[in-house]
Amino acid sequence: MQKLSIEQPTSSLPVEDRYRVLIDSITDYAVYLLDANGIVGSWSPGAQKSMGYSAVEIIGQHFSVFYRHGDRASGLPERALKTAAVEGRFEAEGWRVRKDGTEYWTHVVIDPVRGADGSVVGFAKITRDLTERQSAQQALKSSEEQFRILVQSVADYAIYMLDPKGFVTSWNLGAERIKGYKADEILGEHFSRFYLEADRKAGLPKESLAIAAKEGRFEREAWRLRKDGTTFLAHVIIDAIRNDSGELIGFAKITRDVTERSKAQKELEQTREQLFQIQKLEAIGQLTGGVAHDFNNLLMVIQSSLSMIRRRLSNDPKLVSLLDNALHAAERGSSLTQRMLAFARRQELDQQTVSVPELVRGMTDMLERAIGPSIPVLTQFPLSLPSVVTDPNQLESVLLNLAVNARDAMPSGGPLVISAEAEELDVFNPHRLKAGRYVRFSVKDVGQGMDAETLARATEPFFTTKGVGKGTGLGLAMAQGFAEQSGGRLVVHSQLGAGTTVEIWLPAAMASQPQVEKAQTPPPDTSNRHAISILAVDDDPLVLMNTVAMLEDLGHAVLEASSGTRALEILKGEAKLDLLITDHAMPGMTGAELIELARAERPHLPAILATGYAELPSDSQTTATRLAKPFFDDDLEKAMDIALRR
């Protein structure tokens, strides 16, 4: 064979040699000839590169050497040649084997070579190594399959595809779980069926796709429908999907059921709001309690001073009338401070075992006078109702206040129902009360009721819907403070136009607790009382001065001290002392601590502890006689009588 020179121009070569130069220049394809029986007759550099055989090694070999053993056994090489001969071409992709035994993925084309008479004299075979492309395709297919499995397995999100018009084209497990439809029920259906009827009529499905198509993304939270007709709050994302040329080919839609999350968020916000309200009311309560305590002291000074002036005054009708008006105003102020103290849960409670039906029956006349003839009072009590542990006087005051509120809510009249029932509460009760037995004491009217906003503020101090001068706004606040100080709770139920029911939950008395009858305190016996020596202690100089004046008016010798420390100094230097009267809330040393130290020196010294509110700690062991502020001559005499007889 004539050797060709590289420098020799191809245009000067014979046609056959030109083709040979062309074939030898192709290295990415294996181009070679087979005879009619499949024996390799030529071999190109590209074939040697792809399959590893040199021309000397492979020419004369049957081309089936490139096939896998199983393909050879099944006659695949022969079928390929037969197909090329019969159909004029054979084309396929498959695995082939190199000289070193490695396999590669190839694209094969076999064309028949025919003689002048049209008979097949051989085959032209072109093979291309597509292993890298096949590996990439396999990796892509594997990745797509893994992604498909991932999407199908997600149960907490509905992930599905829509075509450009909004019809569902895919459906995952999460979509089935959240929306209730199986794939065969929803594929091909329009996604608008998940929307509420009003939203569909408003065109929201079409609008959401339009926004996604224009902006690339649509995101919102809204209510959606399940297959069974129930609704859920959904967080929806719709992404537009476009091909390489930017054409919109559909939408990817992700929906998550956030109903529980939204509910939990609302509950958290409500809890925060309740905590804020509790903190606000606690702050108001502390402020109110402190103001009321100090105001009580001032009222005591005013009332006691006016009383002493009244006794000393000549019978001038005009002056007497003015003094009586001043005393009446001071008494109203004292009543207001008691309500403020009740709200602040700092009032003095005289806890007793009380029968609710008997207490109500005992004040029927008072209630009827307070609310008038147009409002009949109906009582509903079971035959067997446990007694409660509370202060009967305070409970009477609360009941009277609730009755007056009910009267004001029923300007056209109507029944007022007072009832009570025994209730057993566990630790998970909605009123946050200790587990145990309670009596639910209710006052119900059929008046105008309250809307939700008014109801939410009903127990706030100084909040009232009555006109100016017709209410202090402390009635329900006082009732709430009283109930909580008694170990119970106040609950108000009301709807606009449907009346109001106020419930006071009070702890039931244990069966072993004897009922304490409400006894009248006998007036003090002063017929044989002689003047005694008394030490009066109070850090408020005005209160101390009036206390001393009242005691001196009663004919007693009085020593005074403005602090516990000063009182102890007097006790050490005073040989004879018959009675100690001390305020409790004093800086440096409380009245209870003073009595304890005084009795360490004089064990049998009678003592009276004056308190502006229920301020003694729960672990206080003092046995001193209690005297509630504001107190007056009669209160002071009664307390002295009790203390001196102990």
Candidate from 248-262, 364-378, 397-411, 513-527 with smallest mean pLDDT: 513-527
Instruction: Domain count for the chain, please give it.
Output: 5
Query: What average pLDDT does this structure show over 206-210?
Result: 94
Question: What pTM did the predictor assign?
Answer: 0.40
Q: Could you read off the pLDDT of 277-308 as tens digits, one per residue?
A: 555 555 555 555 555 566 666 777 777 777 77
Residue 629 in this model has a pLDDT that exceeds 50 = yes
CATH of the domain at 596: 3.40.50.2300
Which H helix or E strand runs over 312? helix 259-312
Positive or negative, the CA dihedral 82, 87, 91, 92 is negative
CATH of the domain at 434: 3.30.565.10
pLDDT in the model for residue 549: 86
Residues 334, 412 within the same domain? no
Residues 357, 500 within the same domain? yes
Distance CA 49, CA 98 (A): 10
Distance CA 126, CA 35 (A): 14
Query: What average pLDDT does this structure show over 529-543?
Result: 86
Q: Examine residue 246 and state whether it is found in any structural domain, yes or no.
A: yes
Distance CA 325, CA 331 (A): 10
Which H helix or E strand runs over 161? strand 157-162
Q: Could you read off the pLDDT of 32-41 as tens digits, one per residue?
A: 899 999 999 8
Question: CA nearest 448: which of 403, 411, 418, 416?
Answer: 411
Q: Examine residue 136 and state whether it is found in any structural domain, yes or no.
A: no
Query: What average pLDDT does this structure show over 222-248?
Result: 91
pLDDT in the model for residue 25: 63
**Residue 630: cis peptide before it, omega within 30 degrees of 0:** yes
Contact in structure between 331 and 307 (CB atoms under 8 Å): no
Which H helix or E strand runs over 361? helix 356-362
Domain that includes residue 454, residue range: 352-507
Q: Examine residue 549 and state whether it is found in any structural domain, yes or no.
A: yes
Q: How many CB atoms lie within 10 A of CB 8?
A: 12
3-class state of residue 184 by DSSP: helix
User: Distance between alpha carbon 646 and the CA centroid of its chain, in Å?
Assistant: 55
Residues 454, 500 within the same domain? yes
Which H helix or E strand runs over 541? helix 541-553
Which H helix or E strand runs over 104? strand 103-114
Q: Examine residue 144 and state whether it is found in any structural domain, yes or no.
A: no
Q: Could you read off the pLDDT of 307-337 as tens digits, one per residue?
A: 777 777 767 676 777 677 776 666 666 655 6
Q: Could you read off the pLDDT of 469-495 as tens digits, one per residue?
A: 444 455 677 777 778 878 888 888 988
Distance CA 66, CA 64 (A): 5
Residues 638, 608 within the same domain? yes
Query: What average pLDDT does this structure show over 153-164?
Result: 82
Residues 21, 122 within the same domain? yes
pLDDT in the model for residue 468: 43
Residues 178, 105 within the same domain? no
Residues 458, 548 within the same domain? no
Contact in structure between 472 and 336 (CB atoms under 8 Å): yes
pLDDT in the model for residue 396: 82
CATH of the domain at 296: 1.10.287
pLDDT in the model for residue 304: 75
Eight-state DSSP code of residue 385: -
Residue 453 phi/psi, 5° resolution? Answer: -65, -45
CA atoms within 13 A on the CB side of 242: 12
Query: What average pLDDT does this structure show over 593-619?
Result: 78
Distance CA 629, CA 632 (A): 9
Residues 539, 413 within the same domain? no
Contact in structure between 73 and 53 (CB atoms under 8 Å): no
Give the tokens for residue 180: 């209730």
Distance CA 5, CA 27 (A): 19
pLDDT in the model for residue 116: 86
Residues 6+ away with beta carbon under 8 Å from 138 = none
Contact in structure between 530 and 285 (CB atoms under 8 Å): no
Residue 455 in this model has a pLDDT that exceeds 90 = no
Last residue of a domain, one of 288, 309, 343: 343
CATH of the domain at 225: 3.30.450.20
Q: What percent of the chain is modeled with pLDDT above 90?
A: 28
Q: Could you read off the pLDDT of 131-154 as tens digits, one per residue?
A: 877 776 776 666 666 656 655 666
Residues 367, 447 within the same domain? yes
Give the tokens for residue 481: 């403070």
Contact in structure between 416 and 399 (CB atoms under 8 Å): no
Query: What average pLDDT does this structure show over 528-541?
Result: 84
Edge-first strand listing for the sheet containing 489-494: 377-380, 416-425, 436-445, 500-507, 489-494
Residue 192 in this model has a pLDDT that exceeds 90 = yes
Residues facing residue 29 across a β-bridge: 128
pLDDT in the model for residue 8: 52
Q: What is the mean pLDDT of the chain?
A: 80
Please give the single-letter amino acid code of residue 409.
A
Alpha helices for 363-510 (secondary structure H)? 364-371, 392-409, 452-457, 475-485
Residue 454 in this model has a pLDDT that exceeds 90 = no
Residue 89 phi/psi, 5° resolution? Answer: -170, 145
Q: Examine residue 525 and state whether it is found in any structural domain, yes or no.
A: no
Last residue of a domain, one of 507, 541, 573: 507
Last residue of a domain, one of 299, 320, 343: 343
Q: Examine residue 445 and state whether it is found in any structural domain, yes or no.
A: yes
Residues 244, 100 within the same domain? no
Q: Examine residue 430 and state whether it is found in any structural domain, yes or no.
A: yes
pLDDT in the model for residue 495: 85
Contact in structure between 508 and 438 (CB atoms under 8 Å): yes
Distance CA 405, CA 494 (A): 13
Residue 477's Cβ-count burial label (10 Å; 0-12, 13-18, 19+) is buried
Residue 390 in this model has a pLDDT that exceeds 70 = yes
Residue bearing the bigger pLDDT, 396 or 536? 536
Q: Examine residue 521 and state whether it is found in any structural domain, yes or no.
A: no
Residues 196, 126 within the same domain? no
Residues 115, 23 within the same domain? yes
pLDDT in the model for residue 352: 83
pLDDT in the model for residue 288: 54
Please give the single-letter amino acid code of residue 530.
H
Alpha helices for 1-67 (secondary structure H)? 15-25, 45-51, 55-58
